[in-house]
Amino acid sequence: MNKTAFVFPGQGSQSVGMLDDLTAYAEVNACIQTANQVLNVDLLQMINQGPAEQLNQTQWTQPALLAVSVGIFRAVQARGDFTISLMAGHSLGEYSALVCAGALSYEAALELVYKRGLYMQEAVPAGTGSMAAILGLDADSIEQACQQAQSATGTTVSPANYNSAGQIVIAGEREAVAKASQLCVDAGAKKVMPLAVSVPSHCELMRPAADKLAVDLAAITWQAPQIPVLHNVDVQSHDDADLMQSLLSQQLYSPVLWTQTMEALQQADIDLVAECGPGKVLSGLFKRFDRSLQVVPMLNSKGIESFFTAATSR
C-alpha cells in the first residue's frame, strides 16, 4: 500500500477567487504569468475579480483551471519528496495531468486548451445543446433512456460523464436531453438536474471540434509521461504519442469514464488521493466511492499542508 494518486479537476470547478491564498506560492504565480504571456490576457484579474461570466466562457475557463492546477502541483513538488503512482484528470483535467507527468509542455497545453474551448463553443450554436445530471439511476437505464430519446426526437443525446454509480451526466441536443431526462424520471431517477453549461461536452456534437483539435494535437512535441496517466476514454496509461493525441481528440465526443477510473485506482491499491486544483468535486466523488481512501483536496495552502501530513503519516 502507501500509494498516492494525483487527480485534476475539469470545468465546473472554477470560481472567481479560486486562487484563495495560493498566490503565496511562487510556482502558482509563475504559471499565471506564463498564461498571461502565452494567451495575451490578464488571467490573474479574471480569476480574482471576474466577472464570473467571463471566467465561465469555456476558452478562458480551460486555461485558468490548467494554470491553477499545474501551479499547485509545482508548488507541492517543490516542497517535498514523495512518489506518485498514478495520475488522472476529469475531462480538461487530463491535460493538467499530462503536463504534470511531463508528456507535453505547459505552454503548449495552454494554447491547446484555449483552442479546445473555442472549438467546442463553435461546434454547437448557443442554445441548441444542453446537459443534465441524472441522480440515483443505474447506467443501463440511463443508456436505454438516451437511445429511446434519440429515436423519438431524431436528435442526439448520450451519457457524457460516468461520475459515480449514482451520478451520470447526459449531453446532446436540447430536445433529446429533455426527453431523456423525463424518461429517466419515469424509470425511477431520484433527481434530474439541468446543468448551466454553454457547451454540451463529451457527445457526438463535439466531433467537429475534435477534428480541429486533432490538427493542433499533432503539431506539438510529445514525450512519454514520467508518471502513468489514466485517460478518460479507455482508463489506460500510454507512452505512444500518436495514441495519446488520438485519445485526447476522441475525449471530446466520448464519455468520461470516471467511475471506472476510480475503480482502477482502487485496484492499483491507491490509499491516498490528492485533488490538485480548485474545488472539491473529485474529492467528493472519491469519498462516496470508497470511504477507506484518504482524500485531500489541495485547493489552498491548508490543503497542501494536509497533503504532506497525510503523505508522511502513513
Residue 297, helix vs strand vs coil: strand
Say whether 202 is catalytic. Answer: yes
* Candidate list 13, 69, 91, 96, residue with the active-site label: 91
* Candidate list 130, 181, 202, 231, residue with the active-site label: 202
Q: Could you identify the residue written with the cell 485519445?
A: 247
b/e per residue, 270-301, with b = 16+ CB within 10 A? bbbbbbbbbbbbbbbbbeebeeebbbbbbbbe
Kind and range of the H or E element at 160? strand 157-164
Q: Could you identify the residue written with the cell 507512452?
A: 239
Q: Measured between alpha carbons, how far is 188 from 196 in angstroms, rounded to an integer?
A: 23
Say whether 91 is catalytic. Answer: yes
Residue type, 81: D
* Helix runs in 56-206, H state only: 58-77, 93-100, 106-123, 139-153, 174-186
Q: Which residues are catalytic?
A: 91, 202
